[in-house]
Amino acid sequence: MNAPVTLSPGAAFPNTARAAFAENYPEIPHKLTHTLGAHPLMELEALAALAEALPAGSIEYNAADQPIGIDGKPAPTGIPIGRTIREIETTRSWAVLKNIEQDPAYAALLAGLLAEIRPAIEARTGRMLKTQGFVFVTSAGGVTPYHFDPEHNILMQVRGSKVMTQFPAGEATYAPDEIHETYHTGGGRELKWREELLAGGREFPLKTGEALYVPVMAPHFVRNGQEPSVSLSITWRSEWSFAEADARAFNGLLRKLGLNPSPPGRWPATNRTKALGWRIARKLGAR
């Protein structure tokens, strides 16, 4: 395990970044700056050691050369995860380390970063819940296929560059309601890609020292730059995001009964009634 590295208050996100975040959170994607720099925990050797120590379920890695749209999860390359990361310049791979907060040093790093923006978060969406960290290590030219995530997310570019193409959250054109409902009742979140969707996307180029806020469930794909990349995602859930997820699940139940339910409202809608309906149904054994 790594020794914790403590961040001073306000050390990573400048005042201008925190102000921009407070103005745009939780529904408007926007770029930020950070001064995390060459943090020792983000060096390749430290990340390789972390990957080798994490449970197998907390690691995902495969070939970096993926299409934007895929069916299911691509298979691992067969290259061990430690070597995948240490030799990322030549392994032509993509790797994600999930729930890095399982390691005390990375837990302290995540807590320090989120503490800087906690006041803005809790002023809008209430308590910050289920905080998690993810590290992405990608070879030159790698692609993260089209998908969505259930968390509020700030993607911090630590090394290299990439371009995230992001699509409007909550719009069925880009992520059908049925996919949301399936995901929130235990299914996958991979989305069907069609080239005509591209016109509705917005590109966000990221270089070292920049970050991007990604709203809950905003579909996106990522193309890596022409050198290896290391990115850190700091994520959290909110009472609102959990209610939206539960409302989606309840809609799935209604759809199984032959109904055509309306989608949940985006923030600041509370989705309280449908969320409560799902929580009751779940206690009664609904799936």
Question: Which amino acid is located at 213 in the chain?
Answer: Y
| Cα angle for residues 261, 265, 266 (degrees, 5° grid) | 145
Q: What backbone torsions phi and psi does residue 147 show, to the nearest 5 degrees?
A: -165, 180
Give the tens place of pLDDT for each residue, 174-228.
999 999 999 998 887 779 999 999 999 999 999 999 999 999 999 999 999 999 9
Contacts of 197 (CB under 8 A, 6+ apart): 167, 173, 174
Contact between 68 and 145 (Cβ < 8 Å): yes
Ranges under pLDDT 70 in the chain: 1-10, 71-72, 74-75
Q: Do 223 and 163 form a contact (C-beta atoms < 8 A)?
A: yes
Q: What is the pLDDT of residue 9?
A: 44
Q: Side by side, which strands form the sheet with 220-224?
A: 143-147, 220-224, 161-166, 202-207
Cβ-contact 3, 46 below 8 angstroms:
no
Q: Are 60 and 98 in contact (CB under 8 A)?
A: yes
Give CATH 2.60.120.650 domain extents, the chain: 15-237
In the CATH scheme, what is the code of domain 15-237? 2.60.120.650
- pLDDT tens, residue by residue, 117-136: 999 999 999 999 999 999 99
How much is the pTM? 0.92
**CA distance linking residue 15 with residue 21, whole number of Å:** 10
3-state secondary structure of 78: coil
Buried-state track 117-134, b at ≥16 Cβ within 10 A, e below 16? beebbeeebeebeebbbb
Computed from CA positions of residues 276, 28, 138, 112, in that sequence, does the dihedral angle turn out positive or negative? negative
Three-class SS state of 233: strand
What are the percentages of helix, strand and coil residues in the chain, rounded to 5? 35, 25, 40
Q: Chain centroid to CA 226: how far?
A: 22
The residue whose two tokens read 């069907």 is: 192
Q: What is the pLDDT of residue 65?
A: 84
